[in-house]
Amino acid sequence: MARSIHTTRRTIDELRRKKFSSPEDKQTALTEAQKALSQKRRIKQHVSKERHRPEPPLAGTATETIPLEVIDQSQFVHHGASPADIRAILAALPAAATEGIARIQLCLGKQYVDDWPGDFGEDRDPFTGRLSYEVFSRVFGGQILGTYSADAGLISVYAFAYDPMCLPLPRALCEFYLRLHALKTFVHEVAHHHDHTVRIGRGRWRADRSFNLEWYAEKMSLEWTQNVVLPYLKTAYPRESLALRKWVAHRGGLMVGLDFFTGNHRRTERNGKEYIVFTKSAAFESWVDKIANFKSLFESRLAFAWELHYADAYPDCLTVLDGILAKESDLIPVLILKADTLVHLKRFDEALSIAESVLRSEPANAEAWEIIGDVYESKKEWAKLLQHCDEWQKLTPLKRFSARSLHQLRATAHCALGNDSAVEESIAAHLALFNFRSEKSAQWRRAHVLRCVFRMAGKPLPGK
């Protein structure tokens, strides 16, 4: 592939001497050329490195012969997976994926994480001082969970830091959850190894694109988590597996499957774009963080339903809500969340019926007013939406957040009906309810609202 990139240092020198219509055009051309030259150099480096690298020791199918070292374990440093777990997963993975792994380490990884050039912020766990994030309250994972070193054939899985006496859920359940994620990290790094030794090593595609590496590792780790890790955990830890699911069923009102806990917070596409997604496992972690504050089972289950809603797990959210309503059918907060969820599921008539019933009990309930507006907007009933906004605005006092929603809904209806001046008036009223710190933030908000209004009205943005 390096031969297909014809940019050289001479190309850049010629561009520097060449005349362009503007300095901006010249800078753009130089930037593109420098990018191509850097890419060409990376490809050559990969090829050279591949040709001169000594063959790693092959493990073949005898995965039990791969050296496995456990270090850094202490009172507050705990490895999610045990050596027995790692070896069981190794034995269950395809032989082609594990062949050539030279060594495995279970360690803290503090120096590696702290020296990583990425911008992780400065959050550190109080036990080791490693750059970390909180999995649960007072349970810390490294900002990097594991690594694969191609030169050494080394896979490292990094430990968690926590005090076993200060956990937000029973210790056995917490350890089981961390075990799942440690093994998920392990198969992710095995995927990197397999990618390097099989796909890249045979020259099937370019290895200079780091996002291709990550895309493949995420794809394979998802597959192996479902087909290898989860079956292993169900067999090796049946009591803990069932206990975690029953604990969620009692506190959260939903009997989930084990795959509920496996979500991937980041998704890398083949074009290099990364998406941060709020998964069911993230919803679980967020809910567990707050569980000590809940005064009743009702509060706990409603909070879990909200977390499922945020994770776009709408059918699961409805299951929890219907379980609550089966015992008490007129709980306004539950009815509001159910109506909102039904809007997302495009069950508009049901949502409308619930919101209207709430208004009969609480005529000033702003959330019910907004849900009805969302229903009319989704059904593109613009005349009804405008009438609804007029009736809503008669309520006094109208809180700032509700007024923002009202003006945006009204702007959408006017946009769909072609009332351009009314669109501008509604957007101006919406923006007047913010206290912007700078002109730039005000411009950003205006652009954002315009995009939302025109998208919901089914019209292209002006100038597009």
Rounded distance, CA 132 to CA 126, Å? 10
Is residue 301 within 8 Å of residue 251, measured between CB atoms? yes
Reported as half-sphere exposure (CB side, CA atoms, 13 A), residue 119 has a value of 0
pLDDT value at residue 51 = 44
Return the H-helix or E-strand segment holding 172.
helix 171-194
Q: Is residue 274 part of a domain?
A: no
* Domain end (from 167, 198, 232): 232
Does residue 58 register a pLDDT over 90? no
Same domain assignment for residues 100 and 162: yes
Q: Is residue 186 part of a domain?
A: yes
Same domain assignment for residues 16 and 75: no
pLDDT value at residue 47 = 42
- What is the average pLDDT score of the chain? 85
Give ∠ CA 445-451-456 in degrees, rounded to 5: 125
Q: Is residue 237 part of a domain?
A: no
Same domain assignment for residues 42 and 132: no
Summarised one tens digit per residue, pLDDT across range 355-371 is 999 999 999 999 999 99
Q: Is residue 207 part of a domain?
A: yes
Residue range 220-232: mean pLDDT, rounded: 93
Least confident range from 47-56, 122-131, 139-148, 326-335: namely 47-56
Same domain assignment for residues 300 and 448: yes
Rounded distance, CA 361 to CA 106, Å? 58
Q: Report, in angstroms and rounded to the nearest whole number, the Rg of the chain calculated over CA atoms.
A: 28
Residue range 114-120: mean pLDDT, rounded: 71
Rounded distance, CA 355 to CA 359, Å? 6
Q: Is residue 238 part of a domain?
A: no
Same domain assignment for residues 306 and 435: yes
Q: Is residue 371 part of a domain?
A: yes
CATH (domain of 370)? 1.25.40.10
φ, ψ for residue 161, nearest 5 deg:
-120, 125
Same domain assignment for residues 331 and 434: yes
* Domain end (from 200, 232, 264): 232
Q: Is residue 260 part of a domain?
A: no
Residue range 311-317: mean pLDDT, rounded: 95
Same domain assignment for residues 46 and 83: no
* Domain end (from 51, 71, 87): 51
pLDDT value at residue 22 = 66
The token pair at 59 is 């493990």
Strand 154-158: give its sheet, edge to edge.
68-70, 103-107, 154-158, 146-149
Q: Is residue 261 part of a domain?
A: no
Same domain assignment for residues 40 and 117: no
Summarised one tens digit per residue, pLDDT across range 386-400 is 999 999 999 867 889
- The residue segments making up the domain with residue 109 are 63-232
Q: How many domains is the chain built from? A: 3
Question: Could you identify the residue written with the tokens 């963080």?
Answer: 289
Same domain assignment for residues 84 and 26: no
Same domain assignment for residues 333 and 452: yes
Same domain assignment for residues 358 and 392: yes
Same domain assignment for residues 11 and 70: no
